[in-house]
């Protein structure tokens, strides 16, 4: 016998079905949209590298006198973006530093040569007047380095190291910005030709106004301990050499600047720098006289369509030698294992002879 309320219950259930189905359908649609978005991200074209995007930006060199930000953008341009804009080229930088303090002077001259193509392959050579130097090659993802008179050796590096080495090989613009910061006044440009390329030359002078965009909200640095070679005591850092360098970076005062920069009209890259700047550094606690630094920077770019960076020949490369512990991490245990094995293989001592036995006590 059927229940009298069964038809009513069936009708009530049918009336609830659309209500129950609507949330489920909304969830399904949300999942489908998320899956579709993920599929589009996975199969979308790869985004161009940052230097390609930056190289496509249009820069107007005529605006340099009134735009410190544009000046920093052009003078501090990374080498790979420069290569994307102008193609294969050579960059030569000569830096001379002369320190004078208490009537004594110390000079150091550096020469940097960089050859780079539009794909980022480069050859960098650094030399100084102390007969020291280093040469670096980066071709097809492989890096090689050598000292002034040594053989090439393969180096393991990641992309961050490769980019840093390439930028360090042409330090003219970054060095000018780091030493003088925002205290550079740029005069209106004068048209000229450099190696047949139309360009503009901008004279530079020292600004009397301190830059307002310094980062003063950084956490204080932490320095390790160092051992005094005279007393042998371990003292908190920084050590004297680091303290002198930090004092120069913090307290140096630019006194003068003369020179110019040359910017290419077609590509807006930096074609040349000729600058001479002087600085003073207040004396430290145990000193009486201030120090003076004269910095000279000469930087030039030479486009070369025939330039080709080649890896070193096999005769010039010394194979990479790994530490012994990496070849056999358990080598130090072999001696102990050999001793234990020798002990196990030794026969037991023979019983003493009859005449060697200890006589019994009466």
pLDDT on residue 53: 87
| pTM for this prediction | 0.72
Q: Note if the bond before 69 is cis, omega within 30 degrees.
A: no
Burial class (CB in 10 A: 0-12, 13-18, 19+), 251: middle
CA dihedral 7, 8, 9, 10 (to 10 degrees): 50
- Contact between 299 and 273 (Cβ < 8 Å): yes
pLDDT on residue 195: 86
pLDDT on residue 25: 53
Q: Indicate the pairing of strand 142-147 with strand 133-139.
A: antiparallel
Q: Examine residue 295 and state whether it is found in any structural domain, yes or no.
A: yes
How many domains are contained in the chain?
A: 1
CB atoms under 10 Å from CB of 202, counted, come to: 22
Q: Examine residue 173 and state whether it is found in any structural domain, yes or no.
A: yes
Q: Examine residue 9 and state whether it is found in any structural domain, yes or no.
A: no
Q: State how far the Cα of 299 lies from the Cα of 276, in Å rounded to an integer.
A: 12
Q: Examine residue 244 and state whether it is found in any structural domain, yes or no.
A: yes
Domain enclosing residue 84, as ranges? 60-209+223-315
Q: State how far the Cα of 102 lies from the Cα of 290, in Å rounded to an integer.
A: 8
181 backbone φψ class: left, alpha, beta (φ>0; ψ -120 to 50): left
Q: For the stretch 305-322, what's the b/e string if a residue is b when 16 or more beta carbons lie within 10 angstroms of its beta carbon? A: eebebebbeeeebeeeee
How big is the CA angle at 62 (ends 58 and 64), to the nearest 5 degrees? Answer: 90
Q: Examine residue 349 and state whether it is found in any structural domain, yes or no.
A: no
Q: Examine residue 37 and state whether it is found in any structural domain, yes or no.
A: no
pLDDT on residue 312: 87
Q: Examine residue 337 and state whether it is found in any structural domain, yes or no.
A: no
Q: Examine residue 278 and state whether it is found in any structural domain, yes or no.
A: yes
Q: At what angle do helices 172-180 and 68-75 cross, to 10 degrees?
A: 140
pLDDT on residue 134: 93
Residues of the chain with pLDDT under 70: 1-31, 46, 157-160, 211-216, 320-362
Q: State how far the Cα of 101 lies from the Cα of 106, in Å rounded to an integer.
A: 9
Q: Give me the phi and psi of 255, to 5 degrees please.
A: -110, -35
- Contact between 184 and 175 (Cβ < 8 Å): no
Q: State how far the Cα of 169 lies from the Cα of 123, in Å rounded to an integer.
A: 9
pLDDT on residue 353: 53
Q: State how far the Cα of 321 lies from the Cα of 326, in Å rounded to an integer.
A: 10
pLDDT on residue 85: 94
pLDDT on residue 332: 60
What distances in angstroms separate CA 65 from CA 72, 77, 203, 209, one per listed residue?
12, 17, 10, 15
pLDDT on residue 210: 75
């Amino acid at each position: 016998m059927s229940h009298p309320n069964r038809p009513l219950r069936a009708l009530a259930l049918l009336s609830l079905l659309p209500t129950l189905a609507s949330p489920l359908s909304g969830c399904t649609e949300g999942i489908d949209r998320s899956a579709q978005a993920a599929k589009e991200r996975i199969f979308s074209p790869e985004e161009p590298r940052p230097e390609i995007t930056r190289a496509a930006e249009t820069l107007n060199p005529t605006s340099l006198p009134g735009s410190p930000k544009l000046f920093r953008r052009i003078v501090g341009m990374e080498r790979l973006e420069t290569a994307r804009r102008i193609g294969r080229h050579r960059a030569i930088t000569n830096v001379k530093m002369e320190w004078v303090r208490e009537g004594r002077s110390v000079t150091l001259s550096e020469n940097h040569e960089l050859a780079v193509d539009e794909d980022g392959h480069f050859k960098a050579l650094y030399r100084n007047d102390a007969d020291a130097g280093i040469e670096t090659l980066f071709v097809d993802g492989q890096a090689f380095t050598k000292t002034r008179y040594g053989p090439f050796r393969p180096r393991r590096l990641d992309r961050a190291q490769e980019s840093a080495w390439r930028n360090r090989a042409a330090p003219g613009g970054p060095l000018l910005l780091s030493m003088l910061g925002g205290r550079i006044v740029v005069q209106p440009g004068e048209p000229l030709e450099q190696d047949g390329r139309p360009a503009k030359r901008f004279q530079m002078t020292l600004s009397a106004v301190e830059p307002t965009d310094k980062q003063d909200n950084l956490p204080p640095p932490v320095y390790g301990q160092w051992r005094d070679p005279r007393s042998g005591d371990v003292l908190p850092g920084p050590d004297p050499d680091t303290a002198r360098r930090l004092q120069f970076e913090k307290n140096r005062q630019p006194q003068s600047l003369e020179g110019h920069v040359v910017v290419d009209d077609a590509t807006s890259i930096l074609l040349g720098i000729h600058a001479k700047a002087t600085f003073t550094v207040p004396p430290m606690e145990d000193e009486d006289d201030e120090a003076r630094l004269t910095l000279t920077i000469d930087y030039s770019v030479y486009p070369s369509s025939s330039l080709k960076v080649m890896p070193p020949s096999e005769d010039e490369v010394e194979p990479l030698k790994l530490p012994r512990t990496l070849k056999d991490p358990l080598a130090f245990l072999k001696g102990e294992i050999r001793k234990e094995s020798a002990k196990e293989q030794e026969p037991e001592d023979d019983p003493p002879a009859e005449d060697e036995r200890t006589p019994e006590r009466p």
